[in-house]
C-alpha cells in the first residue's frame, strides 16, 4: 500500500528559528513529490520535486528529494509568524491523484 509519512506531526518554534520538516514515502511509480502549505482553507502549492538531489528554493523555503533513501525535506529559515500553517507532502500518482501525508502543523511564536 502506498504510504506517505510526515514528521514531526506538530512543531512549535520562535520567530527566527530554522525548521526542517520531513516526508518519507513508500510509493511506487510516482511522478513527482509536492509540498503544500495549508492555512485556513485549501492547500497552496509550494514546490514540486521530480529529480533526486536538486534543491528547489523560494525565498526562505527550500526543499530537496532523495529518491534512493525515499524521503524529502522542507526547510524554512528565519521563520515568521506567517509561516504558521500545516505543511502537506504529497506524491503524484500515475492517474494524476495525489497521495497525501497527514501533515506537519507548524506554530511560530513571536
Of residues 11, 19, 22, 93, which one binds another protein by CB under 8 A?
93
- Using the rule CB under 8 A, is 95 a contact of another protein? yes
3-state helix, strand, coil in the chain (%, to 5): 5, 55, 40
* CA separation for the pair 97, 60 (Å, rounded): 28
- Using the rule CB under 8 A, is 27 a contact of another protein? no
Candidates 2-10, 13-21, 57-65, 66-74; binding stretch for another protein (CB under 8 A): 2-10
Yes or no: say if 106 and 11 are a contact pair by the CB < 8 Å rule. yes
Residues 73 to 92 in contact with another protein, rule: CB under 8 A: 88, 90-92
- Using the rule CB under 8 A, is 31 a contact of another protein? yes
What spatial distance separates the first Cα and last Cα of the chain, rounded to whole Å?
Answer: 41
Of residues 21, 43, 72, 76, which one binds another protein by CB under 8 A?
43
38's grid cell: 495549508
Phi-psi region of 29 (alpha: psi -120 to 50; beta: other; left: phi over 0): left
Candidates 13-21, 58-66, 67-75, 95-103; binding stretch for another protein (CB under 8 A): 95-103
Residues making contact with another protein (CB under 8 A):
4, 6, 9, 30-32, 34, 41-45, 48, 88, 90-103
Amino acid at each position: 500500500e502506498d504510504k506517505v509519512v510526515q514528521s514531526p506531526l506538530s512543531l512549535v518554534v520562535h520567530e527566527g528559528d530554522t525548521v526542517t520538516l520531513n516526508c518519507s514515502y513508500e510509493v511506487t511509480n510516482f511522478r513527482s513529490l509536492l509540498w503544500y502549505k495549508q492555512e485556513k482553507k485549501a492547500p497552496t502549492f509550494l514546490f514540486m520535486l521530480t529529480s533526486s538531489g536538486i534543491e528547489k528554493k523560494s525565498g526562505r523555503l527550500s526543499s530537496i528529494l532523495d529518491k534512493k533513501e525515499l524521503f524529502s525535506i522542507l526547510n524554512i529559515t528565519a521563520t515568521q509568524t506567517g509561516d504558521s500553517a500545516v505543511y502537506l507532502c504529497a506524491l503524484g500518482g500515475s492517474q494524476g491523484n495525489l497521495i497525501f501525508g497527514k501533515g506537519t502543523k507548524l506554530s511560530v511564536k513571536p
